[in-house]
Structure 1
Amino acid sequence: MRAREVLRELLRSGVGRGGIGLLLLLLAGSAYVLVTYPLDFGTSRWNNPTVWADNPKAVPPAWVNLWRSEPHVEHRVFTAREPDQVVQTATGRMAVYRFPITYPYREPPMFLSITLGEVTYVRRPPVISVSLRRPDGRVVRLYRHMPRGPRPGEEPPFHRYHETPLRVRLSADATAVAAVRAFLESEFGVQVSEQALVERMEQALFGTPVSGEALRFEPLTGDYEVIIQVAFADADDRLGLVRFVLGGAVFGLMGTDAVGRDLAQGLLFGLPVALLIGVSVSTLSTAIGATLGMLSGYAGGRTDLIIQRLADVVANVPVLPLLIFLLFIIGSHLALIVLILVAFSWPGLTISVRSMVLQMRTGQLVEAIRSLGASRKRILFRHLLPQVAPYVLAQLIFTTPSAILAEAGLSFLGLGDPSIPTWGQILEHGFRTGGVYVGYWWWVVPPGLLIMLTALAFMLLALGLEPVINPRLREAP
C-alpha cells in the first residue's frame, strides 16, 4: 500500500484518528520546546539552583485553589527595570518603585525576598530602602542597603551586582527582623524577641497581633504596597533590576519540586527527549532487524545460520544487568543509553521477518523474478521489502513506547543522563526525596501520565494499522 492509502486507512478508524491526534499534539509540544527552550536547558537551567531561588519549595499547582474554600497564597513575582517615580532632592534624586499587592488570603505567604541588580554609580553608592504599606495605613521599614564602595584602584563608573544580582530573603534577614520587631513594639506595644519573631515574620507583616498573645496574629487582608526607594547622588547613577517575590503556597501549572524547580518546564522539556529516544531506538533497531531478517531468510545457508545464532545470543543476554554495568563503567549518557537499547532490540524482528521471507522465497513471484535475471538486491528491496513493510512499520510503532519506558525505567533507577531532564528522572527524584510518602502527588502523577499518554498514542497508531497488515480486517469502502 502507498503512504496515502495507509493514511486513509488510519483515518477511517476511530483508534487511528485518536492516535494521529495524540501524536500531532505531542509533536506540537516538542516543536514549541525546540523553538523556545535553550538546547543546554538541563545544565544551564534545570540543574542550576540559582535559577529557581525565588520559587517556593515542593508546592502544588495553582489550580488546586479552584476547589478550596480558602485558597492558598499564589506565588507572585514583581519585576521592574524603570522606576515609577523620580523626585529631585537636595543631594541628588530619589527613584521610587511601587509594587501593589491585593492580598485576600487568610494565611501568610511562605517567604518574602528582594533582588537588586545592575547597580551603577559615579561617586557615592546609592542608598536602597524597602518599605511595606499595609491596608491599615501603617508602614513597615523593612530593609536598608548600600552597595559596596569603590575598591582601591577602581575607576568610575562603578558596577555592582551585574553578573550576580543581590538576593535578600527578607523573612530571614537580621535587619528586617529587627525592623519588624521595632514596628510591633511602636505600633501595637507588643514586645517579642527577634529569635521568636524569625519563624513568624510573614504572619507579623500580613496580620495584626491578637491582644494578650504576643506571638499570635490575626490575618489582615486588603491592599498592600511594596515601596522601594533608591537615593542616587549623580544623574548617571542607576539601578537596572528590582524584583520583589511574594512566596506562595501554590505555583504555576504543575507546582515545584524540593529544589523549587518548575515541574511544568521539566515535563515539557522531557517531551521531545522522550520522542527522540523512542523514535531513534525504534527506527535504528527496526532497520537493523528487518535488514538482517530479510538477508537471513533469503540468503540461507551459512549466512542464515550466523545471523540466527547471533540473534539467539543477543536475545538471551540479560539486558538490565548489562546496562547497569556499562553505565557505571562508562557513565550515564543519553547517546550511550540509546545505543545499548538499539543493540539489544533487533533480534525479535529479525526472527519474525526471516520466517516471512522464507515463505516468500519459494513463492512463484520470486521464482519468476529470479528466472528473469533479477539481482539479489533488487529482489530483496523491490519485491520482498514491500510485502514485509506493513508488518515492519507496525513493529516500529510498537517499539517506540517500549524504548521510552525502558529509558524511564533506567532513569527511575538513577541510571539516566543527569544533564538532561526526563520524565523518568523527575519520578526518580520524587521517590528519592520522599515526595511520594508525604503526598506530593503533583511530583509523580504528571510524569507517569505523560509516559502513559505517549505510549497510548503509538499503541493507537499500531491498532489503526492492523487493517493495513491484515487485509481481512479492512472495511468495505
Structure 2
Amino acid sequence: MSSAPGGDRLREATARARVLLSPHLLTLSETLRLVFRKRTAVVGVSLIVLLAVLGGLAPVLTPYSPRMRDVVAGDFAVPDWAAPPDVARNIVKTLTSFRVESRDVSGNVKIDFKPLPEGGFQVVITGTGTARVLVVSDEYLEYPYRPARSLDVRVAFNSSYLEDRGQAWYNVDTLMINKDLVERGEKLALEIRVPDGTVTRYDIPKGFYSLYDLVTTRVGWVFDYYKGAIMISAPAVLPNSMRNFQQPYIRSIKDPTIRERVAEEFGKVNAARELLLERGTRLYIAINITYYCNPADFMMSCRDGSLVVSYSPVRIFIKGDAFGVLGTTAYGNCVWTQWLYGARTAIALGLGVAAVTTLVALIVGLAAGYRAGTTTDMSLTFLTDVMYFIPLIPMVMVVGLVFGRTLLNIYAVIIALSWQGGARIIRQWTITLRSSLYVEAAKALGASEWRIMMKHIAPQLVPYLVYRIVMMVPAMVFLEAGIQLLGFGDPEAPTWGRMINEMFYQGAFIMNAWWWIIPPIAGLIMLAAGFILFGMALDEIVNPRLRR
C-alpha cells in the first residue's frame, strides 16, 4: 500500500519534467489556436475549405459523369457567360409523332401504317411489286441561333418479315430536311477543277441530307436494295465526310471523274453548318422506305414478299457552341465537371497520401531514433538511404507499364518513395526526446518501448507531423499532375493532372481554349496557396526561431 503514493509522486515528477524540459513544444490544440490568429492561416484554410466543399458537392453541382465521357455540347464550346446570345446553344428534341406524307405502289403491294404507343411508327408492306413510303415527323424543330458546328441524330429501327410470307428487298433512308431552305431552293456552290484544268461550278442543294441510308451503309452502291432482318441503333453524327460521299446528289453524277472530284470537295463541307442549320428555320425528319419484290428477277428473287419496319422516336441533339460554366473540351466534355471532380480528388487523395506517407515516416523514425546505435537503427537507416536514391518518376513509369497506370499504383509508388526525409527528421527528434526525464520516468514505471514512443514521444511531434502533412499535400498533387503531363498517369482518373494532359495534347493552345487551359492551373495554384499559407502560419508557431 505504501508504494502507491510513491508512484503518484513519480508520475507528478514526470509531468513536471515534461513541462520544464520541453517548453518549446506545444500541444495540438494550443498550436491550432495560435495558428488561427494569423490572417495567412485563415486565408489558406478558406481556400482549402472552398475547394473541399466544391469537390464534395460535385454530384449536386453537375449531373455528368466523373469519368468525363459524357458529350454535353460541341467541341471547344465557350462558357455560356462568355458567348453572345445568338451563338448556338444546345437543343435537344425527340420526335415521336409521324405520318405518311406520300406513297407509291405497283403490282399487288399493300401498305399498312400505324403509330406505336411508345412513339414512332410501324410500316407493314406485303405483296409482289414495288412500293415507296415517305414518312415524316408531325413536329418541327425550330432553330433560333447561328448555325452550330455539329449535331447528333439517334436513328433506331428494326426490320423483319411476316412468318407466313417470303422476304422482300428493301431500303430505309433517314433524312433531315430544313423546310425553309428547301422551299427557298438555296444551293451551296462548289468549284471543281476537272482534268482538263478548267474550273466548273457544281451546286449542292441546301436543306436536304441523308443521315442513315441502310443500303449505302451496309452494301455500298452494288445494289439498290437490302435483304435480311436487321436492328439498327446508331447515332448519325455531323459533320461526317464519309457520309457526305454517300449523299444521293453525289451518287447521281454519271461521270466518274466529275463524281470523284465533287465528292472530294464535298467531303470538306460541314453539313450541319453549311447545309442544314440556319437561324429562324424549321427542321424535320423524313424516312423513305422503298420495297421491291419481283419473282422474275434472277439476281434479286422474291416471291410473295413482306416487310415490317418498326421505327423508334428520333432524338435530335444540336450541339451548342456555348455551354455551361466553363465550356467544353476537344471532345465536347464538360470542363466544369472535370474541374469539380478534380478538386475532390486533389483534396481527398492529396491529404490521404500525405497522411500515409507521414505515418510511415513516423513509425520508421521513432523505431530508428529510440533504438539509436542498435542493429534496428542501422537497418532502418540503411533502408532509408537506399529508398532515398530510387528515382521516383522512372519507378512510376515502370510500375505503370507492368501493373497498369491506375491512380492506386501511382500513389502507392509515391508513398513508398516519399517518407525518407520525414523519417530522418523524426529520428533526430526522437534521439533528443528519448533522454528526457519524463521518458526515463516512464521507463522506471515499467512502460514498454511502444508505449513510450506512442504516448510520450509521438505527441511531442504532432505539430511537426501536421506541418509536414500540410506542406506535402500540394507536392503530391503537383507530382501527380507532372506524371499525367508525361503521359504515364491514370487515363480514367478525374484529376486536374489529367485535365492538363488532355488540354496540352488535344489542341487547347491551338484553339485558344482559355476556358479549358486556365481552370486546372488555377485549381492547382489555389490548392498550393491554401496549404502553403496555412503551413507558413503553422511554421511560425511551431518553429521557436520564427516566433514573434
- Alignment TM-score, normalising by the size of structure 2: 0.65
- Aligned equivalents of 1:289, 1:39: Cα separation in 2: 39
- Aligned equivalents of 1:87, 1:328: Cα separation in 2: 58
Do 2:150 and 2:273's aligned partners in 1 also have CA atoms closer than 8 Å?
Answer: no
Where does residue 213 of structure 1 map in the other structure?
none
Where does residue 394 of structure 1 map in the other structure?
467
1:30 lines up with 2:58 in the alignment = no
1:294 lines up with 2:366 in the alignment = yes
1:132 lines up with 2:201 in the alignment = no
Note the C-alpha offset of 1:72. Answer: 7.4
Aligned positions, number: 430
CA deviation digits over 1:152-178, x for unaligned, max 9?
6x6xxxx833xx434243775449965
User: Quick check: which has more Rg, 1 or 2?
Assistant: 2
- Aligned equivalents of 1:118, 1:401: Cα separation in 2: 53
Q: Within 5 A, what are the aligned runs for 1:347-366?
A: 347-366=420-439
CA deviation digits over 1:238-278, x for unaligned, max 9?
65442323344444433444344333333333333333432
Note the C-alpha offset of 1:285. Answer: 1.0
- Aligned equivalents of 1:238, 1:21: Cα separation in 2: 58
Where does residue 440 of structure 2 map in the other structure?
367
Structure-2 change in CA distance of 1:195 and 1:127 (3 Å): closer
1:57 lines up with 2:113 in the alignment = no
3-state secondary structure, aligned to 1:115? strand
Q: Within 5 A, what are the aligned runs for 1:50-199?
A: 52=71, 55-65=73-83, 73-80=87-94, 83=96, 91-93=112-114, 95-103=137-145, 105=146, 108-117=147-156, 129-134=175-180, 138=184, 140-143=207-210, 160-161=231-232, 164-169=233-238, 172=241, 173-174=243-244, 196=265, 199=269
- Alignment TM-score, normalising by the size of structure 1: 0.73
Do 1:97 and 1:227's aligned partners in 2 also have CA atoms closer than 8 Å?
Answer: yes
Note the C-alpha offset of 1:11. Answer: 4.0
3-state secondary structure, aligned to 1:355? helix
Do 2:152 and 2:235's aligned partners in 1 also have CA atoms closer than 8 Å?
Answer: no
Residue type at the aligned position of 1:266 = Q
Do 2:208 and 2:276's aligned partners in 1 also have CA atoms closer than 8 Å?
Answer: no
Residue type at the aligned position of 2:531 = F
Where does residue 191 of structure 2 map in the other structure?
none
3-state secondary structure, aligned to 2:144? strand
CA deviation digits over 1:361-398, x for unaligned, max 9?
22222223322332222221112111111111110111
Residue type at the aligned position of 1:23 = I
What runs of 5+ residues in structure 2 fail to find an aligned partner? Answer: 1-25, 103-110, 115-134, 163-169, 186-206, 216-224, 253-260, 290-307
3-state secondary structure, aligned to 2:140? strand
* Bigger helix share: 1
Do 1:333 and 1:416's aligned partners in 2 also have CA atoms closer than 8 Å?
Answer: yes
Where does residue 14 of structure 1 map in the other structure?
39
- Aligned equivalents of 1:241, 1:250: Cα separation in 2: 27
Q: Within 5 A, what are the aligned runs for 1:361-440?
A: 361-437=434-510, 439-440=512-513
Where does residue 285 of structure 2 map in the other structure?
228
- Aligned equivalents of 2:430, 2:351: Cα separation in 1: 25
- Aligned equivalents of 1:9, 1:180: Cα separation in 2: 78
3-state secondary structure, aligned to 1:266? helix
Do 2:62 and 2:337's aligned partners in 1 also have CA atoms closer than 8 Å?
Answer: no
Do 1:84 and 1:97's aligned partners in 2 also have CA atoms closer than 8 Å?
Answer: yes
Residue type at the aligned position of 1:160 = M
Identity of aligned residues (%): 24
Do 1:126 and 1:146's aligned partners in 2 also have CA atoms closer than 8 Å?
Answer: yes
Cα-Cα RMSD: 4.4
Do 2:173 and 2:210's aligned partners in 1 also have CA atoms closer than 8 Å?
Answer: no
Do 1:130 and 1:229's aligned partners in 2 also have CA atoms closer than 8 Å?
Answer: yes
1:336 lines up with 2:405 in the alignment = no
Residue type at the aligned position of 2:340 = L
3-state secondary structure, aligned to 2:138? strand
Note the C-alpha offset of 1:319. Answer: 2.6
- Aligned equivalents of 1:5, 1:135: Cα separation in 2: 76
Do 2:211 and 2:236's aligned partners in 1 also have CA atoms closer than 8 Å?
Answer: no
- Aligned equivalents of 1:14, 1:430: Cα separation in 2: 35
Residue type at the aligned position of 2:39 = G
3-state secondary structure, aligned to 1:78? strand
CA deviation digits over 1:104-131, x for unaligned, max 9?
x4xx432344222366889799875532
3-state secondary structure, aligned to 2:139? strand
1:269 lines up with 2:283 in the alignment = no
- Aligned equivalents of 1:39, 1:74: Cα separation in 2: 21
- Aligned equivalents of 1:440, 1:314: Cα separation in 2: 42
Note the C-alpha offset of 1:444. Answer: 3.1
Note the C-alpha offset of 1:408. Answer: 1.1
Structure-2 change in CA distance of 1:91 and 1:240 (3 Å): closer
Structure-2 change in CA distance of 1:3 and 1:471 (3 Å): same
Do 2:178 and 2:276's aligned partners in 1 also have CA atoms closer than 8 Å?
Answer: no
Structure-2 change in CA distance of 1:175 and 1:405 (3 Å): closer
Structure-2 change in CA distance of 1:144 and 1:261 (3 Å): closer
Structure-2 change in CA distance of 1:197 and 1:231 (3 Å): closer
CA deviation digits over 1:19-65, x for unaligned, max 9?
332222322333334689999954xx63xxxx54x853344434432
What runs of 5+ residues in structure 1 fail to find an aligned partner? Answer: 183-191, 208-219
CA deviation digits over 1:443-473, x for unaligned, max 9?
4332222222222222233234346525797
Note the C-alpha offset of 1:339. Answer: 1.5
- Aligned equivalents of 2:399, 2:321: Cα separation in 1: 42
- Aligned equivalents of 1:348, 1:248: Cα separation in 2: 51
Structure-2 change in CA distance of 1:166 and 1:136 (3 Å): closer
